[in-house]
Amino acid sequence: MNELILGDNLEVLRHLPAESVDLIYLDPPFFSNRTYEVIWGDAGERRSFEDRWSGGIMQYIDWLNERVRELHRVLKPTGSLFLHCDWHADAYIRVFILDKIFGEENFRAEIAWKRSGAHNDAKQGRKALGNIVDKIFYYSKSGKYNFNQLYTEYDESYVEEMYRFKDPDGRRYRVGDLTAAKGGGNTSYEWKGVKPYKGRYWAYSIENMEKFDADGLLVYSKTGMPQFKRYLDTMPGVPLQNEWSDITALGAGSKERIGYPTQKPVALLERIIAMASHEGDVVLDPFVGGGTTVVAAERLKRRWLGIDQSVQAVKVTELRLLQGRDLFSSDFAVRLHKYDVEALKAQNPYAFEGWLVTQFGGTPNVKRRGDLGLDGTSREGLPLQVKQSEGIGRNVVDNFRAAAERHDAALFARQRAAGAPVGYILAFSFGKGAVEECARLRTKEGIGIELVAVKDIVPLAHKPRLAVAVAALEGPAGAAGAGGKRAVRLTATGESPAGIEFYAWDAHHDPAQGFRPSILLDKTGVQTFQLRPGAHVLAVQVVDNDGLSATEVVRLHVNGEVKRG
């Protein structure tokens, strides 16, 4: 399952199995001016970054070293790691972290990515060379690693010089010699009255020459000597080097931009993923940021895992994935600090039962029939029953008591004799009757049945409340424009005890496709849309600081009544 996880990546990585990941890309906070570190500005991120660098460069290296050690552990022997950094700490990172953990022999490349054009700040008195590249260190875990040769396009000047010939249809080609210094087989034959130069042989058999001629791949010099056409569009290009200047950073007007200051272009991550992994491999980004890595991994049919301590990073990444969904997109899960009560209650019952049993530390029951109504067993092998509802009554306790004894009479008797629980009932809440019956069983019959609330197993929260106001703008601002469009302002107001993080908008909402945002990151909740006369369906989603969200769909008719649903 592809998954986005909200949390400290060090803690999450410690729970991942060893040698389970094929490719890792990480773009950690650079060791630079600390004001640049806080990107999203939410509470989780601020807590994570607070006073991190007070001990200077070695504290930063120690912090990063812990994480890279865990990344090395979860990487498969055939896997690779790409670490993105800048000049502030690149030498320290390579010498004190990567060479020590991965080994100098597994260093593959130091990639220089040209992230910007030349800086013209000499007039401000800056006495230094302009710094316009980031470093990406490329290490494999062993000498046997995944690698796919990639190519880049030829320079225009090279094409003009080397592929100067054209067919009538404009197809470019260059010509190549068809002779060789050494012969083999019948390579001294006469071809259309011409033999190879003195001391040389034909490079191909007469059968191949006939095929080349039939395919129109031969041209002839004035002397009648055949030459081979090498078409530009059949050449792979230049093998990829370690200087990448053909992928530009995202400009202010780029359609990719989502409001994330250090956002990397998708093309950069697609190149890394295509080069060092295969379809179906697992790609991990422990600093998911704006989600570029997982978006690229999804496009290239890789499985993926993204981790970040920022609610906004995780939720914006989720929305980016929803933006690009189609029939071939993979399912993914989002793991937050808290779980939405309403969403859990609406979940498929069998999926909820299995999930809650696992969260409790037990083993779900794979059978759905003949299971006595039990949904799994605890670590100790005791029976578990899950109820996806509130106010569980006495009848549930009575039925569970009988099922627990029938499940394993000997175990039931041992637990009863020891004064230990005979089983557990898991539910959102319990009514007075259930509580009283458990107390009676324990006191009068020595049978202990534990009632465990979902909130005591996983942290719960209620999703934020959301209201939307719609107003047609009057005066010049709302005047009909090109095509008769009119301006309509929507104002979304979210409320949550955790605090509101941001809003997102789907300007062309299709309920069948779900929420697919056209505006990802709106801090104000106010948007003006230019709408043609007629019916429109829009949607807005609010995200709170726990990562929970609520969506409101607005159906309206321009110049008509407004309906919400």
CA distance to 276, 291, 344, per residue, from 269 (Å) = 11, 11, 35
Whole-angstrom Cα distance, residue 491 to residue 437? 51
Q: Flag whether pLDDT at 45 surpasses 60.
A: no
Asked whether the predicted pLDDT for residue 34 surpasses 70, the reply is no
Q: Which two tokens stand for residue 27?
A: 């773009």
What span, in angstroms and rounded, lies between the C-alpha atoms of 364 and 318? Answer: 28
Strand order of the sheet with strand 465-472? 465-472, 486-495, 526-531
> Of 464, 473, 425, 429, whose CA–CA distance to 544 is shortest?
464
Helix (H) / strand (E) element for 314: namely: helix 311-323
| DSSP label at residue 474 | P
- 326, two tokens: 């189609």
User: What pLDDT is recorded for position 476?
Assistant: 53
DSSP string, 226-245: EEEEEEGGGS--EEP-SEE-
User: Chain centroid to CA 412: how far?
Assistant: 47
Mean pLDDT within 168-197: 90
pLDDT tens string 86-97:
888 999 999 999
Host H or E run for residue 394: helix 394-407
Q: Which residues contact 107 (CB under 8 A, 6 or more apart)?
A: 94, 98, 99, 137, 138, 139
Is there a contact between 401 and 415 (Cβ–Cβ < 8 Å)? no
250 vs 554: which has the higher pLDDT = 554
Contact 229, 218 (CB under 8 A): yes
Per-residue pLDDT at 370 exceeds 90: no
395 pLDDT band, cuts 50/70/90, is: very high
Q: How far apart are CA 392 and CA 434, in angstroms?
A: 7
One-letter amino acid of 446: G
CB 471 within 8 A of CB 12: no
pLDDT above 90: residue 378: yes
Q: Which residues pair with 227 in a beta bridge?
A: 219
**HSE-CB of 57 using CA atoms within 13 angstroms:** 9
Report phi then psi at 359, rounded to 5: -60, -30
Q: In what order do the strands lie in the sheet with 165-166?
A: 165-166, 172-176, 226-231, 218-220
3-class SS letters over 170-187: CCEEEEECCEECCCCCCC
Number of residues assigned to the chain: 565
pLDDT band at 33 (very low <50, low <70, confident <90, very high): very low
> 3-class DSSP state for residue 215?
coil
3-state secondary structure of 338: coil
- Which whole number is the average pLDDT over 105-133? 82
* pLDDT score, position 456: 94
Can you read off the two tokens belonging to residue 151? 């190519």
Q: How far is CA 387 from CA 236, 358, 393, 427, 434, in A?
A: 60, 15, 11, 5, 13
Residue 545 CA to residue 560 CA, distance in Å, equals 36
- Helix runs in 177-305, H state only: 206-214, 266-276, 292-299
Q: What is the DSSP string of 485-527?
A: -EEEEEEEEEE-TT-EEEEEEETT-BTTTB---SEEEESS-EE
Output the pLDDT for position 70. 98
Q: Helices 311-323 and 292-299: crossing angle, nearest 10°?
A: 30
- Domains of the chain are 2-149+241-335 (3.40.50.150), 156-234 (no CATH), 342-456 (3.40.1350), 462-564 (2.60.40.10)
Contact 490, 527 (CB under 8 A): yes
The whole model's pTM is what? 0.78
Task: Tokens for 561, please give them.
Answer: 């009544």
107 and 97 Cβ atoms separated by less than 8 Å = no
Helices (H), 408-554: 409-417, 432-440
List strands edge to edge, sheet with 519-522: 519-522, 500-506, 535-544, 549-557, 562-564
Express each pLDDT in 242-290 by its tens digit.
999 999 888 877 888 887 778 899 999 999 999 999 999 999 999 999 9
Is 117's pLDDT higher than 80?
no
Residue 17 to residue 65: CA distance in whole angstroms: 19
SS3 label, residue 108: strand
Strand-pairing partners, residue 166, are 172
pLDDT in tens, 398-423: 999 999 999 999 999 999 999 999 99
**Residues 310-365: pLDDT tens digits?**
898 999 999 999 988 877 788 898 988 888 999 999 999 998 999 999 999 999 98
Q: Which of 86, 85, 83, 120 is nearest to 102 (CA)?
A: 83
pLDDT > 70 in the chain, percent: 91
